[in-house]
Structure formats: structure tokens, C-alpha cells
Amino acid sequence: EPLRGKRNEPAHVIHTARCLAIARGESLEHLAATTTANACRLFLRQES
């Protein structure tokens, strides 16, 4: 919670990602790869 009470900025998402990776018991790199793959599947989805 290093930024609690401060303005929310996209650049601060790394702090949330670190906490989430710890809670899930995985590396930050693995979490980043997983969320990137999920975003690509969601937003790059082609209409059938």
C-alpha cells in the first residue's frame, strides 16, 4: 500500500500486480504474461 491516499495513475498498477502475484504464489513475470495473454484474447478476438 505504498500509494494509499494518492491519486490513482496507470503507472501505479505495478504495485497491485506485485501484491496479486504474491497472493497467487506466482512470479510477477508469470502474472504479467497471463494477464497479457488474457487481454489479447479478449480484445483481439475476431468476429465469427
For the chain, domain boundaries: 10-43
Please say whether the beta carbons of 14 and 21 come within 8 A.
no
Q: What is the pLDDT of residue 46?
A: 64
Q: Grid coordinates in use for 11?
A: 503507472
CA distance readout (Å), 6 to 1, 2, 13, 27: 10, 9, 13, 26
pLDDT, one tens digit per residue, over 2-48 is 788 888 899 999 999 999 999 999 999 999 999 999 999 999 976 65
Residue 23 C-alpha from the chain's centroid: 13
Q: Is the pTM of this model over 0.75?
A: no
User: Which amino acid type is present at position 3?
Assistant: L
Q: What is the pLDDT of residue 15?
A: 92
